[in-house]
Amino acid sequence: MDRDSRSHDTAFGRSTIVFALVTLLYVLVAHALAYLTHEYAHTVTAWSLGWMARPFDVDYGAATVSNIIFLGDVSDNVSYDPIFASGHGPSAAMIALAGPFLGNGISYFLIYAVTGAAWVRSRRYVLMFLYWLALMCAANIWSYVPIRALTTHADIALAAKGFGISTWLLFPFVMAISAFVTWHFLTRMVARACEPIVAGSLPNLVLFVAFTAFWYFSFFGGDPTSGSYGPISQILSITSRYLLFPLCAAWLGSRYVARFISPR
């Protein structure tokens, strides 16, 4: 059946609840995988450069409910002070940048390439999981650039220190990468995955849009709203959570929901 003749389901029912629960499960698992990939990219890079004894020596933190679900206390366990003290700033910069741009950036484009395969696109739940994994990788970059780039600590500040430059000077270069990944995700990845995932259901589409906008711009963009990364990061975080999140939902809605319910 071609797309023009496909009927659309607008009813909210049990299948919608199942879709929401499956999506939540996939989101949480994908978040954990992307988070750990980020941290392992730090540690493997540090190990390969001779600054860690073991390649996967991540600090997993306490076994609390919050940490088990969201991994908020997990850290790369890389000791940067000896690296800087020994005059190996560029090595420290490479280790710091490996998390967002190697662990998450390269992973995002690899996942996108895999989703182009016919066997993936014909398997809804495989594509669905890969979509959320791609989002977690892309949004992880967003959480560092721009959100936590212009600050005194975290990955981008460490990279700038390693290169011997200010975060303001490094910012345009890393921002260009982050902006491209965000544009690519919202215009290419979403377009590729949306219709096969929602499977003709309008409530599924609304959930798809809501989950996408929330996780990208609120969950990953909202952490520094407390001010723990300084006033610039706080302003960027507030903007991401309270402006870009609803704008993204509205923009995706204008592209997909309106087209979805229009007469065929």
Q: Parse the chain into domains and list their residue ranges.
A: 30-261
Rounded mean pLDDT of 137-141? 98
pLDDT on residue 36: 97
How much of the chain, in percent, has pLDDT values that exceed 70? 95
Rounded to whole angstroms, the Cα distance separating 27 from 139 reads 12
150 pLDDT more than 90: yes
261: pLDDT confidence band, cut at 50, 70 and 90? low
**140, 181 contact by CB (below 8 A):** no
Convert the pLDDT of each residue in 175-188 to its tens digit: 999 999 999 999 99
- Written as one string, the DSSP assignment of 59-103 is B-----HHHHHH-TT-B----HHHHHHTT-HHHHHHHHHIIIIII
pLDDT on residue 8: 66
Q: DSSP H helical segments within the chain, as ranges?
A: 14-48, 65-70, 80-85, 89-97, 107-115, 118-121, 124-144, 155-163, 167-184, 190-198, 202-213, 231-239, 245-252, 258-261
Among 202, 210, 101, CA closest to 149: 101
**Under DSSP, is residue 8 helix (H, G, I), strand (E, B) or coil?**
coil
Among 253, 256, 243, 187, CA closest to 217: 243
74 pLDDT more than 50: yes
Convert the pLDDT of each residue in 213-254 to its tens digit: 999 999 999 888 888 899 999 999 999 999 999 999 999 999
pLDDT on residue 5: 37
CA geometry: angle 123, 209, 101, nearest 5 deg: 75
Please state the pTM of the whole predicted model: 0.94
1 pLDDT more than 50: no
Rounded to whole angstroms, the Cα distance separating 132 from 155 reads 24
**58, 75 contact by CB (below 8 A):** yes
